[in-house]
Amino acid sequence: MLRTSVCLAAMLLVTASLDTASAQTAAPATAAAKPSRMKLTIEHLKEMRAKWVQNRPKLKACRAEVKSKGLIGDDRWFYIADCMEKS
At 38-55, the pLDDT tens digits run 667 888 888 888 888 888
Could you give the CA distance from residue 30 to residue 15 in angstroms, rounded to a whole number? Answer: 21
Start-to-end CA span in the chain (Å): 66
Could you give the CA distance from residue 25 to residue 7 in angstroms, rounded to a whole number? Answer: 27
Domain assignment of residue 49, given as a range: 33-87
Same domain, 6 and 38: no
| Mean pLDDT estimate for the chain | 74
- Does the pTM of the predicted model rise above 0.85? no
Same domain, 67 and 53: yes
Same domain, 22 and 40: no
Same domain, 40 and 82: yes
Q: What is the pLDDT of residue 34?
A: 54
Same domain, 37 and 25: no
